[in-house]
Amino acid sequence: MPADTLLERITDYANRSNPYPLYAELRDAGPVVQQADGSYLIGTFHEIAALLHDPRMSADPRSLTTPPAGPPEETARLPFLRLDDPEHHRLRTLAMRPFGPPHTPDRVDAMRGEIVEITEELSRSFQPGREIDVVDDFAYPLPVTVICRLLGVPREDEPRFREWSDVIVASADVTTGEDTTERDRAGRQARYEMGAYLVGLAEQRRGRPTGDMLSAFANEPDPAKRLTLEELAETAVLLLIAGHETTVNLITNGVLTLLRQPEHLDLLRREPGLLPRAVEELLRYEPPVHMRERIPLTDLDVSGTTLPEGASVVLALASGNRDPKRFHEPDRFDPTRPDNEHLGFGSGIHLCYGAPLARLEAQAALGALIPHLGAARLVQDPPPYRQAAMLRGPRHLAVQL
């Protein structure tokens, strides 16, 4: 099939369970492949990494030749994930303050024991002979509980923000050739409602600090380092969604990979010290985030192809992670792989700043689950996947213990 339909085929739900042959086709046709809708698709590691570090590439959708529709006040409010420096740096720095000193995730480290306790509590009912859904029974409750405790969100309100999260994630997905007006409107409305809810929680703690991150934002003593209410809303929404959505996929993809490759499951059971390296390999081999959009701020030449100013450029991170020009035997899962500089958390100034928490949760989760998976089997393979192509992972993962 023609290469200019690759993005359409990758985002087609029919290929959600295994997009990797399409990524191989992309790399063979690339490094840069223009799509029928005028966008550009890039799937090779070195080109993706270079563009993620290039200040001439914008994360801001308002840089598109045809910016997203919506009321001006709504399109002006963006999370720092979608902003460029210097505004991105300012908001990211303020958002990181409650985590601890620079490069020292004190608050995350302090939760290590608590995270292990949560994983043990969730896995306590996993008795032989029982059928479990890894997503609903484990991979979703763990990061949701953790991010709720970090932010100070009542766990009983989880059904409300799960509904909001689903709508927001759907509105952020990469799509081709379809009218997304209603989807985008629903996403803006969900972001507004979730932001208002989180700001309300923060305001309740103003002057009455409770030790959580919303309280820290609301009680920042330095006016120069204090988020406005609009910035607090967007930042808190980003933290809540990013704090659990990607980790759910990372844990679930990890269990699926290990059940498909029992020899590696046995290896990790015998050598639990390999878990940190195994998580890095999962971030390369089955990453939770598959794509990111960037926009050139000027015409850019990439391997002989000009990326026009204002064009939509989709960086297929998951394809870069399987690039044979960067990784030896890239289609093989190897929990002992050395030199594993993957794109699982992105790269450059937008490198995922929740990476230490995601790594800790994934290591604790797999450490708790592996002892229960020795004689387990997948009830359905491939399992049903979530709709999103960008944040890819199973919606359910039924396992017979």
Measured CA angle at 11 (ends 319, 318), to 5 deg = 15
Peptide bond into 86 cis (omega under 30): yes
The number of folded domains in the chain is 1
Of the pLDDT bands very low, low, confident and very high (cuts 50, 70, 90), residue 104 is very low
Radius of gyration of the chain (CA): 21
Give the integer Cα–Cα distance in Å for 235 and 225. Answer: 14
pTM for this predicted structure: 0.91
63 CB neighbour count, 10 Å cutoff:
18
In single-letter form, the type of residue at position 244 comes to H
| pLDDT tens-digit series, residues 70-83 | 655 555 578 899 99
Instruction: Determine the pLDDT at residue 309.
Output: 97
Domain range holding 388? 3-400
Average pLDDT over residues 134-161: 90
Q: At what angle do helices 141-151 and 245-260 cross, to 10 degrees?
A: 150
Q: Is the pLDDT of residue 126 over 70?
A: yes
Instruction: Determine the pLDDT at residue 103.
Output: 42
Q: Which residue has the higher pLDDT, 101 or 244?
A: 244
Measured CA angle at 292 (ends 289, 297), to 5 deg = 165
Give the integer Cα–Cα distance in Å for 393 and 317. Answer: 15
Q: List residues bridging with 385 in a β-sheet.
A: 394
Percent of the chain with pLDDT over 90: 69
Instruction: Determine the pLDDT at residue 288.
Output: 94
Q: Shortest CA distance to 45 belongs to which of 69, 27, 25, 71?
A: 27
Give the integer Cα–Cα distance in Å for 395 and 135. Answer: 7
CB 58 within 8 A of CB 295: yes
Q: Is the pLDDT of residue 292 over 80?
A: yes
Q: Is the pLDDT of residue 303 over 80?
A: yes
| pLDDT tens-digit series, residues 216-246 | 999 999 988 999 999 999 999 988 888 888 9
Peptide bond into 31 cis (omega under 30): yes
Q: Is the pLDDT of residue 334 over 90?
A: yes
Q: Is the pLDDT of residue 272 over 80?
A: yes
β 300-302/305-307 pair status? antiparallel
CATH assignment at residue 246 = 1.10.630.10
Instruction: Determine the pLDDT at residue 379.
Output: 97
Instruction: Determine the pLDDT at residue 66.
Output: 82
CA–centroid distance for 101 within its chain: 24
